[in-house]
Structure 1
Amino acid sequence: MIIGPQKKVISLSDVLTERRSRVEVKPDVSYPIAGVYGFGRGMLLRKAVRGSEISAKHLFRISAGQIIYSKLKAFEGAFALVSDAADGRFVSNEFPTFDVNQDLALPSFVALFLGSPKTWKSLQEWITGVGARRERLNPKDFLDSEIALPTLEEQQRIVGMVETIETGLDRARQLRENAYSFLLALREALLVQNGDWACPEGWTVVTVDELCDVSLGFTKGRKLAGPTQMLPYLRAINVQDGFITLKDVAEIEASSADLNRFALRRNDVLLLEGGNLEHVGRAWIWDGSITPCLHQNSTIRARVRDRSICDPRFLAWALGASPARDFCLDEAAATSNVAHLGLAGARAIPVPLPPLDVQQRIIHDLDQVRRQLVHADRKAARYEEMRAHLIDALISDS
């Protein structure tokens, strides 16, 4: 099918060829790992992992210039061009990779096309499976979908225009990364000494259970009694280190009993109960932006009993520092093959407890730097939104 004098629609299979370089995992070898960010944000570079820590028998080596996507996260735009920095890294079977027929298409243009919200939303009809953890885009269905290709010259023009805005985006992301790194370093300097909690005179170390009422959120599929209503709720994806994101707040049918038991209050601290090992125990404080709002059992709520002893915001900051994170990693890794902190683990997390006036000075210092991070994050988000709109406009009009 031809659209206009310079644009044609063809199958992705005419442009992309699946090619996977399978490598046997050896226990004494380290494998630098890669992933794909959602929403068209490119490659994710992870730290190297020893083969002895990898359960899979095989990994797949990726090459710069290939197209890659996440089967599980395709529905939210986890497509990317393998960058030079990711060349030679390894991915699991969940990340198919494809060579580009460069007689027809520029790899950078294909990546732009797949990173367009219009494109990856249209691919949702090919998603198979039931439930968010099992829904996948299979390579055959992916290749059966179509791409609208202008001439190579027009593709180059589009890529060049997008690159101009990506320069600003890269700078904004770097500012965000610098602010985040400084914030982490400051938190460690204020709270940690020689790899453990700092404990000057007047400080003590206590457990979360000594300060808070700790409880799990609701479980999906529970039986409901009496009148119900649709209510918003927070889950693991909403709880990040240092902020709670409200970009994707789900709703669920809930009863009055659910509302009484699982509703969040302003200054509740939320921790991740399970998930990827490195994320378990990740925490931040709830500011009451949505009322009422429940929380799912993928999160644990810690509600400070006496604010004259502990400021909830100080607790939230402390839970992100390395001694608390190390405890959560050790606790979750010891439970089972699936990382879970559990109520007992959350209650046992050790945290420092300085005098209240010291807590508030630490909060003030950290919050000042956090405001710089929030500003940088909003700037990067604006660039990302501009980039998405520009790609949609250029691809649609080309």
Structure 2
Amino acid sequence: MTWAPEMTLGELADGGRFTDGDWVESKDQDPAGSIRLTQLADVGVGEFRNRSNRWMRPDQAASLGCTFLHPNDILIARMPDPIGRACLAPVTIGKAVTAVDVAILRLSRPDVDPSYVMWAINSPQFHSSVLALQSGTTRKRISRKNLANLTVPVPHLNEQRRIVDLLEDRLSRLDAADKGLALSLAKLNSLREQTIIHALTATDVPDRVDAALADVGTADGGLPSMPVGWSWARLGDVAEVVGGVTKDSKKQDDPSFVEVPYLRVANVQRGHLNLDTVTHIRVDPAKAKALRLEEGDVLLNEGGDRDKLARGWVWEGQIDDCIHQNHVFRARLNEPRLDPYFLSWTTNIFGGRWAERNGKQSVNLASISLSMIRKMPVIVPADGEAQRVVVSLHDQLASYDRLASAITESRNRGKALRRSLLTAAFSGRLLGDHADASVAEEMIHA
């Protein structure tokens, strides 16, 4: 037995409007136009995110027969992420239309509150129904026809408004708490990076080192000064640096080849290795032996987007007989004053900017060649200093990581509480004056 009558979105739209946005191509837009084209990015979960900056002229909108938005229209994203999320068009929307992958639900019924329906569409129950009807291979989407057949509970108008008031009060508190936690995490990450920089440079002006490195070319001169006993070197002078294996699909069935695990760019993250999914490749046995990773090898990415460039971490022998692909470089140290972790922290902190400046650039991708990465400047500390820095940093970073985990856990708990509040609101759990977040708190642990 349901706690309130169910109505489909199509029924709720009776007397109003339920339509897709408009198919507006680049040729139909004009940056100098006066009509705003809102897009998927503007539709958040319960909030109009105001991210797009696309415009049309009135004659362009008229020629396409565009649907103009009204304040409090419910905008429903028919594509991820998440699919089916909804928000209200703000009262300040002005002259605006929306893209075709956003559905417009305009209510005219006096017994239905648009804010209530919008939150009901964002509830976990409704989202589950959307997921069951999504289609598509590369990018999932849901049709407006399928959306029209999905239902939401519709209690008395007074009850709708009470639920909206309660939700918006509690959710605004959760949002404020999450923003505070996110800011704390950002500050912690900044402090973490500065701690590493100070430890690696043994100087009180690490920012000067970072700035100088950004401008360093491939010549030997121009490197910033280091404390007494510390120096700069090129990566190729302190380590054997090699590229990885290139997959040859034509030879995968060669009976002489052996199958071994190998690391891809996705496995090599900044400051850690993600080994949740490790694929295998068939290679010549001699190649497998030559590229077999050894404990202490430092891995660096050749490229991808700019965040991937030269990022990496230390191989600790987690998988036997593992090798690496051609988009991942391996640096094997031959300099006794260096430590693999010291080197990896150096390349993660300073290497990316240098590699971006000295590598190849395209619109979305950056890469650096094997010959060039061998010229990357790296810090060589005085005898015994690398090991001291590594031990000290491990202890300090472990403290940061514990705090970051606690912050992340709090944020996840807030997200769970948010979902539980929405679940409770649209399953009849938040009824009467007693309804508050404690009900949702119980649901988290149910």
Could you tell me how far 1:184 is from its partner in structure 2? 2.0
Aligned to 1:319: 347
Q: Matched residues in 1 for 2:320 and 2:167: separation?
A: 44
Could you tell me how far 1:319 is from its partner in structure 2? 0.7
Change (3 A) 1:95 1:283: farther
Change (3 A) 1:216 1:143: farther
Q: Matched residues in 1 for 2:361 and 2:9: separation?
A: 51
Unaligned ranges ≥5, structure 1: 27-33, 47-57, 89-93, 129-134
Q: Establish whether residue 331 from structure 1 lines up as the match of residue 358 from structure 2.
A: yes
Could you tell me how far 1:116 is from its partner in structure 2? 10
Aligned to 1:219, which of 240, 244, 247? 247
Q: Where does 1:1-398 land on structure 2 (aligned, <5 Å)?
A: 5-8=4-7, 10=9, 18=21, 60=54, 74=80, 77=82, 103-105=113-115, 109=119, 112-113=122-123, 126-128=135-137, 135-137=138-140, 141=142, 143=144, 146=147, 149-151=152-154, 152-153=160-161, 154=163, 157=166, 169-189=178-198, 190-191=200-201, 192=206, 193-194=208-209, 195-196=211-212, 197-210=224-237, 211-219=239-247, 221=249, 223-224=251-252, 225-226=254-255, 234-246=263-275, 249-255=276-282, 257=285, 260=289, 264-291=293-320, 293-297=322-326, 299-306=327-334, 308-322=336-350, 324-334=351-361, 338-387=365-414, 389-390=416-417, 398=427
Q: Matched residues in 1 for 2:292 and 2:76: separation?
A: 40
| Alpha-carbon displacement from aligned partner over 1:184-211 (angstroms, at most 9, x marks no partner) | 2233344244523442222232222222
Given that 2:84 and 2:122 are in contact with CA atoms closer than 8 Å, whether structure 1 keeps it comes out as: no
Change (3 A) 1:45 1:158: closer
| Alpha-carbon displacement from aligned partner over 1:17-39 (angstroms, at most 9, x marks no partner) | 5478987689xxxxxxx989xxx
Q: Matched residues in 1 for 2:316 and 2:352: separation?
A: 22
Change (3 A) 1:155 1:239: farther
Change (3 A) 1:279 1:213: closer
Bigger fraction of residues in strand: 1
Q: Matched residues in 1 for 2:391 and 2:228: separation?
A: 21
Could you tell me how far 1:313 is from its partner in structure 2? 0.3
Given that 1:43 and 1:80 are in contact with CA atoms closer than 8 Å, whether structure 2 keeps it comes out as: no
Change (3 A) 1:5 1:120: closer
What one-letter code is carried by the residue in structure 1 that aligns with 2:401? V
Question: What SS does structure 2 have at the residue aligned with 1:250?
Answer: coil
**TM-score with structure 1 length normalisation?**
0.64
Change (3 A) 1:98 1:362: farther
Given that 2:263 and 2:279 are in contact with CA atoms closer than 8 Å, whether structure 1 keeps it comes out as: no
Could you tell me how far 1:327 is from its partner in structure 2? 1.6
Could you tell me how far 1:359 is from its partner in structure 2? 1.9
CA RMSD of aligned residues (A): 5.2
Aligned length: 352
Could you tell me how far 1:378 is from its partner in structure 2? 2.0
Given that 1:8 and 1:149 are in contact with CA atoms closer than 8 Å, whether structure 2 keeps it comes out as: yes
Given that 2:337 and 2:382 are in contact with CA atoms closer than 8 Å, whether structure 1 keeps it comes out as: yes
Q: Matched residues in 2 for 1:330 and 1:347: separation?
A: 15
Identity level (%): 17
Question: What SS does structure 1 have at the residue aligned with 2:182?
Answer: helix
Q: Matched residues in 2 for 1:15 and 1:108: separation?
A: 14
Q: Matched residues in 2 for 1:43 and 1:369: separation?
A: 41
Change (3 A) 1:208 1:231: same
**TM-score with structure 2 length normalisation?**
0.58
What one-letter code is carried by the residue in structure 1 that aligns with 2:328? I
Higher radius of gyration, 1 or 2: 2
Could you tell me how far 1:276 is from its partner in structure 2? 1.5
Could you tell me how far 1:315 is from its partner in structure 2? 0.8
Q: Matched residues in 2 for 1:115 and 1:282: separation?
A: 41
Could you tell me how far 1:357 is from its partner in structure 2? 1.8
